Chains A and B, each alone.
Chain A
Amino acid sequence: MSTTVNQAANGGVAQRGKRARAARRRATVWHFIGLLVVFLSSVFPFYWMVTTSLKSQSDALAYPPKWLFSPTFHHYSAALFEHDVAGSLLNSLIIASSTTVLAILLGTPAAYALARYEFRGKEDLWFWFISNRMVSPVVLAVPFFLIATKLDIVDTHIVLILLYLTFSLPIVVWICTDQFRNIPVELDEAARLDGASPWRVFWRINLPLAMPGIVVSAIFAFIFSWNDLLYALVLTRTEAITSPVAATSYMSGYELPWGEIMATGTLIVLPMVVFALLVSGRLVQGLTMGAVK
């Protein structure tokens, strides 16, 4: 009798095990579908932009939409050279890299001071740096337009390089402060005992050790500057227009050259996607001002 009970019990366990395995497999299938949905919905609009940029005008305007088509690079050459997107990309590159370099030069010493020294008003200073992330560009664009008009620097690189410092500098300060805090303060103390000046301690010891954070913050500063439209729209006319402004300038006229517009979009976005992938592990930190890691 005891054996039959055992057998029954064993059968139950086996049954339950089988059922649990089936449930796990079902869960895995749903998990797979869920991940697929996440992937497809993230990629689709981007995919649609890239494929439209490779379609001929008639394929791009076809309805129902064409999923298969013979690709052409015609729109890229048309956008780059006929519509002079090449010039605007160059402007964007000059402006975004200049502001990034400036932000690093000005921001890393400030970040070092915030990480290493205690002083009155430090919290207020910190608060002020953070507020800059929140301020709508339109708040500064209105008065800055008048200043730029008065100084006659509308439609120059320099005006955007300076304006973009309002967000690139804070991002450098946030990320680098965090980085400097992680460098053992004992290194500073040892160097100071050997008679190194504060500047030397910063320049020769801390800066090289903080390089990973500095590179990440530089990439963020570059991405944010590259992506701006409002400032560039207000403060440039023809000479210094950046690529997002060039992308919006197709918007007049009767039949829109969708292939060229999407080719321009792809040229603008693709380098940013590559940059963002490089810092994907720190993306949240950059977008939340270091509050969430």
Chain B
Amino acid sequence: MANGTVASATQPRRPRKHARRFGILPRSPAFWFLFPAIFALAVIGIYPLLLALYNSFHQYKLADLASGTPFVGVDNYIATLSDPSFWGALGRTALFLCLTLPIEIALGLFAALMLHRMDLRFMRAAARVSLVIPMATTYAVVGLIGRLIFNRQFGVANYLTGLFGIPPQDWLADPTLAFVSVMIMDIWQWTPFCALIMLAGLSMVPKEAEEAARLETPKWSMILWHLQRPYLLPGLTAILILRSADMLKMFDAVFTMTRGGPGAATEFISVYIQRVGFRLFDQGMASAQAIILLILTIVLSRLYIRFVYREAA
């Protein structure tokens, strides 16, 4: 971050009094208020990224440092982009997002509508409070709970499916079922987030309009589509982008639950990069992959700013 430009001038349209007050860079109070935070984030946030960028153009194998760290140009990027397991991890992450997010949104909408409806004050309060629990649960512990619930021998998941006559499954050893198990835990943890965002949207609907609509029609689906939908859309955009970013970040729960396995069935992109960097000790390759991931993230944040903040402002 170029500190020099941050606080250099006020907007030209401002009256002269202000211009004089903040005119010269280091004398501007804004600069000194911002400087410590920017400096700290630059040192711990930007410098490592530059180092990763540098390493991504070099061979950097921690297990083979004897052969040095020669410059290899874009070899790491070419190797990454032609590596089927990289695309596999990225594709798996996208598939996970496409399967999980619609379920989270649908269940979240259900919960939000339930919480928005009047009456049953106590039950509503209890349900509202209970939504906090999944969101506050440490991701790593979510994975551990997943291992307990989906245990082959004594897991409660087999017991519950058994009530419907489904024979017990070895959830975490079967590639498809392991993927589904991770999905279920993710849905458990993040549906409340979707529910609360949509509840916030629902409560933006003017009370009078909603009462009038209820007199017009008893159908909740009509009210949802014609009256409440526009109020839900900004929140949905936020959910879409934030959850996409979260999927790219997803590591802790998967690591404790399946370690990416069986095989590579639940090896999502962050788990994959962590394996390359810290199990295969290929820092050059992992750096190139991290940079590619960073570019994806920057695109997502741009979208977030473009569609969520600008719309709101």
A138 at the interface (CB under 8 A from B): yes
B166-185 to A contact mask, C-beta < 8 Å, 1/0: 00000000000000000001
CB distance B137 to A119 under 8 Å?
Answer: no
How far is it, in angstroms, between the C-alpha of A38 and the C-alpha of B128 when the chains are bound? 9
- Distance between B204 CB and nearest chain A CB, rounded to angstroms: 10
**A42 touches which one: B29, B127, B200, B249 (CB < 8 A)?**
B127
Closest Cβ neighbor of A246 among chain B residues: B140
CB distance B48 to A147 under 8 Å?
Answer: yes
Q: Which residues of A contact B308 (CB under 8 A)?
A: 288, 291-292
Contact A119:B156 (CB < 8 A) given known A113-B33, A169-B41, A229-B255: no
**A28 touches which one: B119, B201, B252, B274 (CB < 8 A)?**
B119
Contact A46:B133 (CB < 8 A) given known A121-B5, A141-B277, A199-B29: yes
B286 at the interface (CB under 8 A from A): yes
**B238 touches which one: A52, A269, A276, A291 (CB < 8 A)?**
A291
How far is it, in angstroms, between the C-alpha of A106 and the C-alpha of B32 when the chains are bound? 11
From residue 10 to 38 of chain B, which have CB atoms closer than 8 A to chain A? 10-11, 14, 22, 28-30, 32-34, 36-38
Majority SS at the chain B contact face: helix
Q: Which residues of A contact B153 (CB under 8 A)?
A: 61, 63
Contact A265:B136 (CB < 8 A) given known A110-B36, A134-B301, A230-B252: no
Contact A140:B30 (CB < 8 A) given known A43-B130, A43-B133, A244-B140: no
A128-161 to B contact mask, C-beta < 8 Å, 1/0: 1111111111111111111100000000000000
CB distance A251 to B256 under 8 Å?
Answer: yes
A96-137 to B contact mask, C-beta < 8 Å, 1/0: 000000100111011011101111110001011111111111
A32 at the interface (CB under 8 A from B): yes
Q: Which residues of A contact B304 (CB under 8 A)?
A: 130, 134, 291
A15 at the interface (CB under 8 A from B): no
A3-41 to B contact mask, C-beta < 8 Å, 1/0: 000000000000000000001000010011011101101
Q: Which residues of A contact B158 (CB under 8 A)?
A: 63
B240-271 to A contact mask, C-beta < 8 Å, 1/0: 00100100110110011000000000000110
- Distance between A207 CB and nearest chain B CB, rounded to angstroms: 12
Q: Which residues of B contact A116 (CB under 8 A)?
A: 30
Closest Cβ neighbor of A112 among chain B residues: B33
Q: Which residues of B contact A77 (CB under 8 A)?
A: none
B193 at the interface (CB under 8 A from A): yes
How far is it, in angstroms, between the C-alpha of A276 and the C-alpha of B189 when the chains are bound? 14
B123 at the interface (CB under 8 A from A): yes
CB distance A287 to B135 under 8 Å?
Answer: yes
CB distance A262 to B148 under 8 Å?
Answer: yes
CB distance B14 to A118 under 8 Å?
Answer: yes
CB distance A247 to B141 under 8 Å?
Answer: yes
- Distance between A24 CB and nearest chain B CB, rounded to angstroms: 9
**B44 touches which one: A128, A163, A244, A248 (CB < 8 A)?**
A163
Return 11 A-B CB contacts under 8 Å, by A number. A23-B218, A38-B111, A42-B188, A46-B137, A113-B30, A118-B14, A120-B8, A138-B290, A269-B137, A276-B132, A288-B242
Given A48-B149, A202-B33, A230-B251: 13 more A-B contacts, CB < 8 Å: A42-B127, A64-B159, A119-B7, A120-B8, A143-B55, A143-B287, A146-B51, A146-B55, A163-B44, A199-B29, A229-B252, A261-B148, A293-B200
Report which B residues bind A (CB closer than 8 A): 1-2, 5-11, 14, 22, 28-30, 32-34, 36-38, 40-41, 44-45, 47-49, 51-52, 55, 110-111, 114-115, 117, 119-120, 123-124, 126-142, 144-145, 148-149, 153-154, 156, 158-159, 162, 185, 188, 192-193, 195-197, 200-201, 218, 234-235, 238, 242, 245, 248-249, 251-252, 255-256, 269-270, 273-274, 277-278, 283, 286-287, 290-291, 293-294, 297-298, 300-302, 304-305, 308-309, 312
